[in-house]
């Protein structure tokens, strides 16, 4: 995996005439995890969407180098009428990548989804869906993960799985940025508090 | 191109998993059309005269009805973000979605319309005209409706708004679609009408995907 | 700082409109007064249409300016989408209801004129039908700009609609004309061109200019109000 790097300089976002944040500068490189923390409405999602180029920044620059982005929004982005495996499969194809069977099975296993893989997503619980969406990110060969509240709806066991998967991603030289309320005390993790 | 095919197939598969949604649209088409003889009376000359307009208007409403969900489901479950982030051109993804929508609504509407036309007492040539004009004209409706659907994502009262935005833009297509059937009644052919409908479809194909893609990017912001 | 940048352009507009609007309003009021007297009292009745020809002095300018209004809307939409001109969004919001009103005036006067001419309030005449569709396009634009809680989203969505709509206006016009000649040849409302007598032409041209002035004044006034509203919103959001 080629490593990605992100350099953000003097970033400002405004919504409906209101300043969400401004003058934000930071950098993240391969092997690092940046946790975006802050109160509700402090702009974590706005920043994450701007970093993914889904949202618009009003000033400043976002420079990615060698990044292939995998996205987990606060919505799971799953189609209810497709099975768990089909959802992951089609997401890879939409990224223009031929799905890697082994990676997908490994990702399903690491989130304990192997038994659910052939079930339509609409029959799953909220936590199971979140795990499916996370497995989609883990199965992708992307080197930059942008995660909006990845721990949402996860039980203790799944939170542990997520930490393990994140650690593995970082160890392989991957980069991750996560908006989260849960503290991420793991090696390579830093945090950036918004609205402070 | 593989992403285009993947999205096209995904949408078709989603429809196949819920065939009821398509059946409801077609049923609406049949019921709406049936109302006219009931409202106007069974006089066959009159029915044959208005058949073209009735079938076209009902097809337009049926198409718009189904278009409301074209991007809304992806918007609501977050899958739209994945489309926006896909490396290929968003315009192609838009085309893939509109194409799969047309396969499951425009195409069956065009095939169903001649059957209803028989009930209106249309002759063979007029039935062919109904099917052909709908075949060539419904892609335009899918694209115009697709733009309205993308513009109204997340809007209040999006269904009624979609119709308000799309209907005036659909007027030329409807005029030439129904004109073809009338032209047969006056003894002319409908080749010119088909050609103009094809031209309208090509124009829509060449311009609207950009508008739809821009509207989707806005919805993502 | 970001907010100040946003207001920079509207502020410049503010200074401009404060200087221009009062004088322009007075000129427009005078033009309306002169135009109405000239068109409704001084101009001679038409030898065919009699006194009803005076409806023309309202109908034709309103319809023409309304059409121009939609073109302006599309230009503003393009400048918002391409150059992200912050004033364009405010001006588009100001323009659409004025354009819709002018279209409505054109439609109503057309209908009033139709009564003595055709013996009915409404005829599916090519011009009236086109204007009805133009009215729907304006309505769609207004509804779309107000359909979102986030007004920026409404501005940009409506801009896309205006640009697509403007591309389609000639096609709609063409198709309606074509449809009309098929169904009822020879439109009765034949106006303009060299056949119109100077005693009618000059007041008509005057009224055209007057309506154009009125349109500009209304749009400037409403843009001013729109700037106030945005400032208020921004202040509320910041509080």
Taking alpha carbons only, the member of A153, A161, A160 closest to residue A128 is A153
pTM: 0.90
* Structure tokens that stand for B151 in this block: 């513009």
H/E run at residue A11: strand A5-15
DSSP state of A41: T
B contact test, residue of C139, C147, C153, C166 with most B CBs within 10 A: C147
| Residues from chain B contacting residue A96 (CB–CB below 8 Å) | 2-3, 86-88
Q: How far apart are CA C224 and CA C218, in angstroms?
A: 10
Tell me which range, B146-150, C114-118, C169-173, is most confidently predicted by mean pLDDT: B146-150
| Residues from chain A contacting residue C152 (CB–CB below 8 Å) | 16
Q: Which residues contact B57 (CB under 8 A, 6 or more apart)?
A: B174
- Over its C-alpha atoms, chain C yields an Rg (Å, rounded) of 20
The total number of structural domains in chain B stands at 1
* Structure tokens that stand for C233 in this block: 């919103």
Pairing mode of beta strands A33-37, A144-148: unpaired
**Residue A194 Rama label (left phi>0; alpha psi -120 to 50; beta):** beta
Check CB contact under 8 Å for B14 and A79.
yes
Nearest CB to A16: which of C1, C2, C233?
Answer: C233
B153 close to B72: Cβ distance less than 8 angstroms: yes
Q: How far apart are CA C159 and CA C81, in angstroms?
A: 7
* N-term to C-term CA, chain A: 35
Separation in Å, CA B75 to CA A39, B65, B84: 26, 17, 11
Residue ranges of alpha helices (H) inside chain A are 44-51, 84-94, 101-110, 126-139, 156-171
Query: What rounded mean pLDDT belongs to chain B?
Result: 92
- Domain encompassing residue B155: 2-220
| Percent of chain B surpassing pLDDT 70 | 100
| Residues from chain A contacting residue C229 (CB–CB below 8 Å) | none
Average pLDDT over residues A46-52: 93
The string of pLDDT tens digits covering residues B203-215 is 999 999 999 999 9
Residue A59's DSSP bridge partners are A12
| Residues from chain A contacting residue B76 (CB–CB below 8 Å) | 75
Taking alpha carbons only, the member of C179, C129, C171 closest to residue B178 is C179
Whether A12 has its CB under 8 Å from any CB of chain C: the answer is: yes
Q: How far apart are CA B112 and CA B131, in angstroms?
A: 8
- What per-residue confidence (pLDDT) applies to A109? 94
Whether B86 has its CB under 8 Å from any CB of chain A: the answer is: yes
Query: What rounded mean pLDDT belongs to chain A?
Result: 90
H/E run at residue B60: helix B44-67
Q: How far apart are CA C88 and CA A40, in angstroms?
A: 33
The string of pLDDT tens digits covering residues C188-229 is 445 444 466 777 788 889 999 999 999 999 999 999 999 888
Whether A119 has its CB under 8 Å from any CB of chain C: the answer is: no
Q: At C156, is the secondary structure helix, strand, or coil? A: helix
Label residue C177 by pLDDT band (50, 70, 90): confident
Whether A59 has its CB under 8 Å from any CB of chain C: the answer is: yes
DSSP state of A182: S
């Amino acid at each position: 995996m080629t490593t990605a790097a992100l350099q953000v300089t003097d970033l400002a976002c405004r919504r409906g005439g209101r300043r969400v944040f401004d003058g934000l500068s930071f950098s993240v490189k391969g092997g690092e995890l940046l946790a975006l923390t802050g109160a509700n409405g402090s702009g974590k999602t706005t920043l994450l969407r701007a970093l993914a180029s889904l949202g618009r920044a009003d000033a400043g620059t976002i420079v990615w180098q060698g990044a292939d982005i995998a996205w987990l929004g606060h919505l799971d982005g799953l189609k209810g009428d497709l099975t768990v495996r089909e959802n992951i499969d089609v997401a890879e194809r939409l990224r223009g990548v031929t799905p890697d069977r082994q990676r997908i099975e490994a990702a399903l296993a690491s989130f304990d989804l192997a038994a659910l893989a052939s079930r339509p997503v609409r029959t799953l619980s909220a936590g199971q869906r979140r795990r499916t969406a996370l497995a989609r990110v883990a199965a992708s060969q992307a080197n930059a993960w942008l995660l909006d509240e990845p721990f949402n709806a996860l039980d203790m066991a799944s939170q542990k799985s997520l930490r393990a998967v994140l650690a593995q991603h970082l160890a392989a030289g991957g980069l991750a940025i996560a908006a989260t309320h849960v503290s991420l005390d793991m090696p390579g993790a830093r945090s950036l508090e918004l609205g402070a | 191109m593989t992403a285009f095919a993947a999205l096209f197939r995904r949408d078709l598969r989603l429809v196949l998993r819920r065939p009821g949604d398509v059946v409801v649209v077609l049923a609406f088409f049949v019921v709406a059309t049936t109302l006219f003889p009931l409202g106007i009376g069974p006089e066959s000359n009159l029915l044959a005269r208005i058949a073209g307009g009735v079938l076209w208007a009902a097809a337009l409403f049926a198409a718009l009805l189904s278009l409301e969900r074209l991007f809304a489901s992806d918007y609501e479950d977050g899958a739209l973000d994945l489309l926006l982030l896909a490396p290929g051109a968003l315009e192609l993804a838009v085309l893939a979605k509109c194409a799969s929508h047309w396969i499951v609504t425009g195409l069956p509407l065009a095939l169903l319309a001649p059957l209803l036309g028989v009930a209106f007492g249309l002759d063979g040539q007029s039935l062919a005209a109904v099917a052909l004009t709908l075949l060539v004209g419904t892609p335009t409706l899918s694209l115009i409706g697709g733009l309205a659907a993308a513009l109204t994502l997340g809007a209040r009262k999006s269904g009624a708004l979609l119709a308000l935005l799309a209907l005036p833009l659909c007027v030329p297509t409807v005029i030439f679609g129904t004109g073809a059937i009338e032209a047969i009644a006056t003894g002319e052919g409908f080749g010119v009408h088909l050609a103009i409908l094809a031209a309208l479809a090509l124009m829509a194909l060449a311009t609207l995907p950009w508008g739809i893609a821009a509207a989707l990017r806005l919805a993502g912001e | 700082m970001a907010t100040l940048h946003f207001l920079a352009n509207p502020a410049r507009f503010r200074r401009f409109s404060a200087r221009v609007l009062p004088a322009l309003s007075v000129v427009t009021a005078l033009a309306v007064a002169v135009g109405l007297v000239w068109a409704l009292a001084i101009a001679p009745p038409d030898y065919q249409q009699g006194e009803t020809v005076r409806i023309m002095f309202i109908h034709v300018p309103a319809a023409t300016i309304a059409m121009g209004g939609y073109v302006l809307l599309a230009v503003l939409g393009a400048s918002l989408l391409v150059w992200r001109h912050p004033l364009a969004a405010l001006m588009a919001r100001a323009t659409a209801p004025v354009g819709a009103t002018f279209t409505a005036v054109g439609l109503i006067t057309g209908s009033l004129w139709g009564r003595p001419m055709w013996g009915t309030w409404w005829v599916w005449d090519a011009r009236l039908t086109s204007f009805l569709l133009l009215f729907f396009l304006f309505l769609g634009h207004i509804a779309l700009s107000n359909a979102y809680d986030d007004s920026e989203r409404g501005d940009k969505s409506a801009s896309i609609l205006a640009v697509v709509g403007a591309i389609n206006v000639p096609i709609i016009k063409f198709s309606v004309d074509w449809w009309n000649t098929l169904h009822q040849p020879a439109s009765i409302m034949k106006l303009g061109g060299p056949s119109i007598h100077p005693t009618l032409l000059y007041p008509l041209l005057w009224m055209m200019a007057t309506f154009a002035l009125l349109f500009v004044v209304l749009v400037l006034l409403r843009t001013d109000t729109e700037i106030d509203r945005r400032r208020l919103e921004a202040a509320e959001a910041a509080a």
